[in-house]
Amino acid sequence: MTTIRGQVGTVHLLLRELGGALFIVFFGNQGEALLLWKRSLNGSLEALYDWDPTNVSPCGWFGISCSPDGQVEGLVLQEIDLLGAVPTNLSSLSSSLNRLVLTGTNLTGSIPREIGVLAELNYLDLSDNALSGLIPAELCALPKLEQLYLNSNHLEIDPSPNREPNKTMTTA
Confidence check: pLDDT of 57 > 80: yes
Query: How do residues 7-18 score in pLDDT, each as one tens digit?
Result: 334 444 444 444
3-state secondary structure the chain: CEEEEECCEEEEEEEEEECCEEEEEEEEHHHHHHHHHHHHCCCCCHHHCCCCCCCCCHHHCCCEEECCCCCEEEEEEECCCCCEECCCCCHHHCCCCCEEEEECCCEEECCCHHHHHCCCCCEEECCCCEEEEEECHHHHHCCCCCEEECCCCEEEECCCCCCCCCCCCCCC
Percent of the chain with pLDDT over 70: 76
pLDDT class of 46 with cuts at 50, 70, 90: very high
Domains of the chain as residue ranges with CATH: 29-156 (3.80.10.10)
7-11, 47-51, 111-115, 130-134: segment of lowest average pLDDT: 7-11
Q: What is the pTM of this model?
A: 0.78
pLDDT class of 44 with cuts at 50, 70, 90: confident
Q: What is the mean pLDDT of the chain?
A: 83
